[in-house]
Structure 1
Amino acid sequence: MKLDVSFIWTAFVELLDAIPVTLAITAVSVLCGFLIGTAVALARQFRVPVLSQAGAAYVTFIRGTPMITHLLLIYFGMPMLLDAAAEALGFGFRSASIPMIVFAFLSFSITAGAYASEVVRSGLLAVDRGQLEAAYSIGMTGPQALLRIVLPQAFAASLPNISNMLIGMLHGSSLAFTVSVVEINAKAQIVATTNWKFFEAYLAAALIYWGLTIGIERLSALAEKRFKAYSRGGVS
């Protein structure tokens, strides 16, 4: 076997078209997951009846099962539920009209939500309880204290973990090829089948993932620096 260096570059160029899909899956799943995770973390942190127990069960189940299992459960289960509901209500809607990428968005958002909840909860635990009490003492309501005092500090404390979660979801997005979504990994397989140079194609894919990961790490480092500057009362 001889390494075809020129084909690595050819594959690299062709794989660039798949980057927007990979980034879209990553961004949507992390943003939606962060909203889900924040709600779950707050419910657990403040011991909201029923919601706290439901949130704990959700986190335990999602963290205890593989990402690809979540994706396949959504891919095979959601159409069954939607078609059954549409038929019962007399709608003409059919799940076959749903774009495949929607299944990836939903599945990865649910997965990210469980991990994000632990990230947010660790950030909430890092904020001194006395700051919440001080906010109450100057007349702030609970939601005001959370939005203005607690959550910003929790977010700052969680930045390293958020960065790790973002990178994890970027890499996890490669599983979307199992439901026919053409992201970087799937594109590499398609490119490789033109002349069976799988090693070169996947090496090009690895280089792209590596570059994207470095970009996320650099942006996270800049964000951490900015937050530290503001926490000291300075500017950057």
Structure 2
Amino acid sequence: MKLDFEFIWTAFVALLGAVPTSLAITVVSVSCGFLIGTAVALSRHFRIPVISQVGTAYVTFIRGTPMITHLLLIYFGLPILVDAAAESLGIGFRSVSIPMIGFAYIAFSITAGAYMSEVVRSGLLAVNRGQLEAAYSVGMTTPQALRRIVLPQALAASLPNLSNMLIGMLHGSTLAFTVSVVEINAKAQIVATTNWKFFEAYLAAALLFWGLTFIIERLTALAEKRFRLNDRGGVSS
């Protein structure tokens, strides 16, 4: 078999149009997942009754089931809930109005939240408990201590894992094709059907993913360096 380098380049250029979709899925899911994960991690870290148990069950279930299963559960289950709720409330909105990428946003955010909670929790555990007690001794409230002392240090300690999470969600965004979202991998399949050169199309997709992953790794390295330079005992103004 002879590689068609010209078509690899043609496919690569065509795939660039799908990059915003893949990045949008990644950024939205990781951002929402970070908020969910932080809330769950804090509830488990401070052992808040009931909420911490619910959070533990959520993390256990999501981490114990495949990412594509979460997407399919949301895709087939959410419309039932939305339509039932809309009908009972007398609202005209129906699930058919939800864009396909919306299902990916919701499902991947839920997935990211469970994994992100463990990332944040590991960062919290890396911060010496004595710093929180010292904050209390000078009159800080728990939210103030978390915002100014604990969370900045936890975030710095979690950066490598956050980078892995971001890369994992970027690669996981390829599953969105199952609900008809045209991301990079789906676009490669579409491009390849013009002349059946699937190997070249997927090779172009692999190169594109590799480039995006490299950029994320470099940005993370710069962020880690910045955190180390600005570390002044963990206190944030």
CA-CA distance at 1:232 after TM superposition:
5.5
CA-CA distance at 1:92 after TM superposition:
1.4
Q: Which moved more, 1:81-90 or 1:38-47?
A: 81-90
| Secondary structure of residue in 2 paired with 1:13 | helix
CA distance in 2, matches of 1:163, 1:145: 25
Q: Which residue of 2 aligns with 1:101?
A: 101
CA-CA distance at 1:4 after TM superposition:
1.0
Q: Which residue of 1 aligns with 2:9?
A: 9
CA distance in 1, matches of 2:195, 2:189: 11
Q: Which residue of 1 aligns with 2:224?
A: 224
CA distance in 1, matches of 2:96, 2:223: 42
Q: Which residue of 2 aligns with 1:122?
A: 122
CA distance in 2, matches of 1:196, 1:97: 34
Q: Which residue of 2 aligns with 1:82?
A: 82
CA distance in 1, matches of 2:37, 2:90: 35
Q: Which residue of 2 aligns with 1:152?
A: 152
| Secondary structure of residue in 2 paired with 1:47 | coil
Letter in 2 for 1:197: K
TM-score scaled by length of structure 1: 0.97
Q: Which residue of 2 aligns with 1:113?
A: 113
Q: Which residue of 2 aligns with 1:42?
A: 42
| Secondary structure of residue in 1 paired with 2:140 | coil
Letter in 1 for 2:203: L
CA distance in 2, matches of 1:132, 1:88: 48
CA distance in 2, matches of 1:7, 1:179: 28
CA distance in 2, matches of 1:80, 1:179: 16
CA distance in 1, matches of 2:85, 2:226: 49
Letter in 2 for 1:136: Y
Instruction: Show structure 2 runs of 5+ residues with no match.
Output: none
> Cα RMSD over matched residues?
0.9
Letter in 2 for 1:231: D
Letter in 2 for 1:75: Y
CA distance in 2, matches of 1:3, 1:73: 40
Letter in 2 for 1:192: A
Instruction: Show structure 1 runs of 5+ residues with no match.
Output: none
| Secondary structure of residue in 2 paired with 1:48 | coil
Give matches, 1:144-223, under 5 Å: 144-223=144-223
CA-CA distance at 1:2 after TM superposition:
2.4
CA distance in 2, matches of 1:80, 1:193: 35
CA distance in 2, matches of 1:61, 1:197: 40
CA-CA distance at 1:83 after TM superposition:
0.7
Letter in 2 for 1:135: A
Letter in 2 for 1:139: G
